[in-house]
Structure 1
Amino acid sequence: MTLAFPNPSRSFDSARNAIRFTGYDGMFEVPFLIEIAALGNSASELRMSDALEAKCLTAFDTLRSSIYAAASKAYADGRRAPYILTSADIR
């Protein structure tokens, strides 16, 4: 089976400074995190906690195809779950 992303939902995880999303390999759920720094937010933006969640989720939506491609590559490379994507994975 190949990794698919049929569910477009994602959530902000303030404890991990990341966005959570899920892929599926057949019937198996595959958890992913992408660090908010990988979404192109500057250090000053990261300090603005009022709008941080909305900015990060919007950035995720904008970069969704690149994020899914990086997630598929990480999964194919055999990393361990939860798969944590960084800016090096996206660029």
Structure 2
Amino acid sequence: MSLNFPNPSRSYDAYHHCVNFWGYDNAREIAFTVNHSVISNLSPNTGSDEPAVLAAFDEHREQILTLARGIYVAGPQNRYTIG
């Protein structure tokens, strides 16, 4: 497994209450979604607005990336949900 996260970009999806981010396995882009519930568990006092959720994501980025690495399996799947 050579999953890495060189791109710090992330985006908030208000409709689904989640944050999307991307990793790479060599040249393959792998999309990840982390549900608001996971972020709330990591940071219980997080508000539900975009700036608060993205700030909590940034604060716990390494923990979230560790979760992403834990669920990733090399293969044809290119989208994963955490939570």
- The TM-score normalised by the length of structure 1 is 0.77
2:47 is equivalent to residue 45 of structure 1:
yes
Report deviation, 1:81: 3.9
Query: Judging changes above 3 Å, is the alpha-carbon distance between structure 1 residues 77 and 38 closer, same or farther for their aligned structure 2 residues?
Result: farther
Q: Which runs of 5+ in 2 are unaligned?
A: none
CA RMSD of aligned residues (A): 2.1
Q: What is the rounded CA distance, in whole Å, between the counterparts of 1:18 and 1:4 in structure 2?
A: 21
2:44 is equivalent to residue 63 of structure 1:
no
Deviations 1:35-77 (A, max 9, x none): 01111266x933xxxxx10000000000000000000011038
Query: Judging changes above 3 Å, is the alpha-carbon distance between structure 1 residues 77 and 37 closer, same or farther for their aligned structure 2 residues?
Result: farther
- Structure 2 equivalent of residue 13 of structure 1: 13
Q: What is the rounded CA distance, in whole Å, between the counterparts of 2:11 and 2:33 in structure 1?
A: 10
> When you count helix as a share of all residues, which structure comes out higher?
1
- Structure 2 equivalent of residue 35 of structure 1: 35
| Contact residue 47 and residue 53 of structure 2 kept, 8 A | no
State the 4+ residue runs in structure 1 displaced beyond 6 angstroms: none
